[in-house]
Structure 1
Amino acid sequence: MASTEDTALFRDVFEANPDPIMIHDADTGTVVRANEAAGALLGCPPADVVGMHVGEFSPSGFSTADANALIAEAATSGSAQVEWTTEGPDGKSRRVEVSLERAVIDDVTRVVAFIHDVTEIRRQERKHTERSKQLQTLVENLPVVVFTLDPDGVFTYSAGRGLDELGLEPGELEGVSVFEAYGQYPDIVAAVEQALDGDEVRVTQKVDDLVFETWYRPVFDDDGELTQVVSVARDITALKRHEERVEALSEATNELLYSRTETAAADTVVHIAQRIVDQPLAAMWSYDDGDDTLSPIGATGAATDFAGVERPADLPEMGPESDENDIFHAGEPTVIEDYQALSNPSAPDMPMRTLLCLPLDDQGLLCIGSDTVSSFDTDERFLLEILAGTAAAALDRVERETRLKSKQTELERSNEALQQFAYIASHDLQEPLRMVSSYVDLLDSEYGDDLDDEAAEYMAFAIDGARRMQEMVNALLRYSRVETTSSEFEETDPEAVIDRTLDALQMRIEEVDASITVESLPPVEADPNQVGQVFQNLLENAIEYAVEAGIEPRIEVSADREDDEVVFTVSDNGPGIPDGDREDVFDIFHRTGAHDTEGTGIGLAVCQRIVLRHDGRIWVEPSEDGATFKFTLPAVTEVRGDD
Structure 2
Amino acid sequence: MRNTRLSELDQLREQVATLEQLQSLYEQESIKKTLQLEQALQALHAQNQYLEQISQELTGLSTFQQAILDSANFAIISTDLNGTIQSFNVAAERMLGYPAAEVVGQVTPALIHDVQEVIDRSRQLSIELKTPIEPGFEVFVAKAKLGQISEAEWTYIRKDGSRLPVLLSITAIRNEHYEITGFLGIAKDITAQKQAEQKLQDINAALNQTAIVAITDAQGIITFANDKFCEISQYRREELIGQTHQIVNSGYHSRQFFAEMWHTIAQGRTWRGEIKNKARDGSYYWLDTTIVPFLDTQGRPYQYLAIRTDITARKHAEAALQKLSLIASKTDNVAIVTDAKGYIEWVNDSFYRVTGYQLEEVVGRKPGSILQGPETSPATIAEIRQSLIQQQSFSGEILNYHKDGTPYWILLQINPIFDEAGQLTHFIAIESDITDRKLMETHLQNEVEERQRAVQELHQLAEQLEISNRELQDFAYVSSHDLQEPLRKIQAFGDRLKATCHDSLNEKGQDYLERMLNAASRAQVLINDLLAFSRVTTKGQPFEVVNLKEVLEGVLSDLEIRIEQTEATIDCDPLPIVQADPLQMRQILQNLLSNALKFRREDIPPKIQVRSQILTNGNQNCCELRIIDNGIGFEQKYTDRIFQIFQRLHGRGTYEGTGIGLAICRKIAERHGGTLIAESQPNQGATFIFTLPLESVPTEPLLTASGNHSNQGNHHD
Q: TM-score range by the shorter chain?
A: 0.3 to 0.5
The two structures have a TM-score, normalised by structure 2, of: 0.34
The two structures have a TM-score, normalised by structure 1, of: 0.37
